[in-house]
Structure 1
Amino acid sequence: MKIEYLKAGTGDCIFINHNSKNILIDGGNESTYLISKYNEIKSQNEKIDFLIVTHHDDDHIKGILDLFKEMEARNEETIIDNVIFNSPRKILGKIENTSESNLLSYKQAYQLEQYLGNHQKIKWETSLNTEIIEMKLNELFNDTNLKFRLFSPDDEILKKYASNKGAYLTSDNRCDWDSPISKLDPVDDKSQDTSASNMASIVLFLIYNDKNYLFAADVTPTRLNQIIDELKEQNEVINFEQIKLPHHASYRSINKQILQKINCTNFIISTNSKKHFLPNKRALIKIINNRNSNEVIKFYFNYGEVIGNLKISKSEEKKYNINLISNNKKNGYAFDI
């Protein structure tokens, strides 16, 4: 199995490939490598068996719109079989409604609705059909060592977000890159992300060869804590081989309560750092301070230049037992697992 975190601007674009089957999670807001990867898959006579749009913020959906625009410009049939996308008007049962919103993410959601309407062969579902989607994902790869779980926002959250209520994004634009870790530590959990947009994120969980992988999109801490509780069941902590940090390593998206319930030493940070001064150094400090293992903590970056922005010295890496790892491919970071 290969998991690729493509360079995709400030957002996420993740490919999972196994047994000639492909899942694409989001498209970022820079589509160069997404379109290149799409063309590569097509040249191999494979398909994108599932496209999961976790939520319709610009840095997760714009690349998908670029991809559809490219396909239509070429006047070619799509190789996308299934789409999981919580379209506002589909959630509300008003897909025929042509009223628009002033919010960019809603305009983009409506654009994707239109593209999907133009490609009727694509099977389009919302994440509320969780059991059906999980069954299809688990049948797709024909591998008993693999299991997917999909965590959907509930009906109430989706309907609230779909109707534009509380949809405006919140962010903390303070830059902490210039401060050494010792000056920032300790970091409290007083400020937490509660935005409706991020609360509506779809989260994907993968078990492969008895190892756990979490693709957390931009999920809020309250929702992520619920998911972790469900996953760990009666265990004190749950072990993860790899976690894609929520919201591009915003310190407002993780907290002590979550981190003390997990054991993970491999964290993925997906952003080019050109928005909201992400990743926050304070997010890394929270992880360092709440580790459940003495092993070195590895932070993987799909854009290696982001490491320089954080201004974490080699002596700090040694002192805090962490390792900052640059992208290993031109187009991002790829894991063969």
Structure 2
Amino acid sequence: MEIKFLKAGSGDCILIHNEGKNILIDGGNDSTFLIDEYYNVIAREEKINLLIVTHHDDDHIKGILDLFKHIEAKNESPEIETIIFNSPKKINNLLKEEISANLLSYKQAHDLENVLLKNREINWITTLDSSINELFKDTFGEMSLKIFSPSKEVLLTYASNKGAYLNSDYRCDWNTSIKELAKYIDDKSQDTSPSNKTSIVVYLTIKNKKILLTADVTPERLDKIVDSIREDKDKADFDLIKLPHHGSYRSLNSKTLEKINCRNYVVSTNSSKHYLPNKRAFIKIVQSLKLAEPIEFLFNYEEAIHKLKMTDKEMTEYKIKLKPNTDRWGYGITI
């Protein structure tokens, strides 16, 4: 299995390839490498077997819209088999009605709805569809995936156009030393934004490797998901976790981190928005896990590492390793 965390602006775009099958998760807000990789899939005479749009925020959905526009401009049919997309209209059974949508995230959600209504050969489902995880059993060879859906109540609230969007912690902590920041690590400020509550979380397992792809999930939901995975064990073991909300301090809870055993975390952002990743996120992880070995943070953009301004002395003292992208298109992992 190969996982590519593509450079996609300030957002997420993840391409998973295994045994001739492909899963695409989100499209970021820069589609340059997404479009390249899509045509690499086509050149292998394959298709995107599953496209997951985790939620409607611009830095997850815009690249998907760009991809469809590019395909349409070339008078091609999209080589996409199934999409999981919790669209406002589909959730509310209102696909034939017009709904006013002034917010950016909502406008883009409606744009994607219209694209899918034009391309009815794509199997369009939501996470509210019954037995969604059974649909993909044995589909991707020895790789299995489990999809954690937002609750119906959360989706219906969001689909009714209620609440604020793109909620984040705008305080920049890049210029402050780890020693100073470490004094103030707590869980007082936690992300509760309606859009991030709707994030789809994907759990992959292959060859005894366990990977958690968290989108922008909120701390409360992540805690429940971790409890579900660890069952009766003290900790949930993971080989790789994509940090929620591009390394936001407010997306992590110390209580949840203490239930996790994982040394490798992916940071997906070019750091152009909202001062993400927060340096405090790395400190919270290190302090909560208390591992003897260094914790590795894998970046799809090297420039995001430079903005953090961590010194070699700090990284040694706090057992932090920051690893830059492995290729021009981002960070790749082969299992």
| TM-score interval for Structure 1 and Structure 2 normalised by the shorter chain | over 0.9
Matches within 5 A, 1:1-337: 1-129=1-129, 131-132=131-132, 134-143=133-142, 146-186=143-183, 187-337=185-335
Number of residue pairs matched? 334
What CA deviation, in whole Å up to 9, does each residue of 1:251-270 have, x standing for no partner? 00001111000011000000
Residue type at the aligned position of 2:138: E
Could you tell me how far 1:130 is from its partner in structure 2? 5.7
CA shift at 1:211, angstroms? 1.9
User: Which structure 2 residue ranges, 5 or more long, are not aligned?
Assistant: none
Question: Percentage identity across aligned positions?
Answer: 52
Cα RMSD for the two superposed structures = 0.9
Find the aligned partners of 1:48 and 1:250 in 2 and give their Cα distance: 30
Deviation at 1:107, TM superposition (A): 0.3
Q: Aligned partners of 2:50 and 2:154: how far apart in 1?
A: 23
Aligned-partner Cα distance in 1 for 2:84–2:261: 29
For 2:266 and 2:141, how far apart are their aligned partners in 1? 27
Conserved 8 A contact 1:130-1:150: no
The residue identity in structure 2 corresponding to 1:218 is D
Tell whether the 8 Å contact from 2:57 to 2:166 is kept in structure 1 after alignment.
no
Aligned counterparts of 1:52 and 1:99: Cα–Cα separation in 2? 23
CA distance in 2, matches of 1:103, 1:254: 26
Q: Which amino acid aligns with 2:61?
A: I
Q: Deviations over 1:297-323 (max 9, x none)?
A: 000000011110000011111111111
Report if the CA contact (8 A) 1:269-1:299 is conserved: yes
Give the 3-state SS of the residue equivalent to 1:300 in structure 2: strand
Q: Distance in 1 between matches of 2:45 and 2:68?
A: 19
Distance in 2 between residues matched to 1:43 and 1:5, nearest whole Å: 20
CA distance in 1, matches of 2:182, 2:320: 15
Distance across 1 between alignment mates of 2:294 and 2:135: 37
Say if 1:263 and 1:292, in contact at 8 Å, map to a contact too. Answer: no
TM-score, reference length from structure 2: 0.98
After superposing on structure 2, the runs of 4+ consecutive aligned residues of structure 1 that deviate more than 6 Å are none
CA deviation after TM superposition for structure 1 residue 184, in Å = 0.4
- Structure 1 unaligned spans of 5+: none
What's the TM-score once normalised by structure 1's chain length?
0.97
Q: Which amino acid aligns with 1:6?
A: L
Letter of the 2:264 partner, please give it.
N
Cα drift, residue 285 of structure 1: 0.5
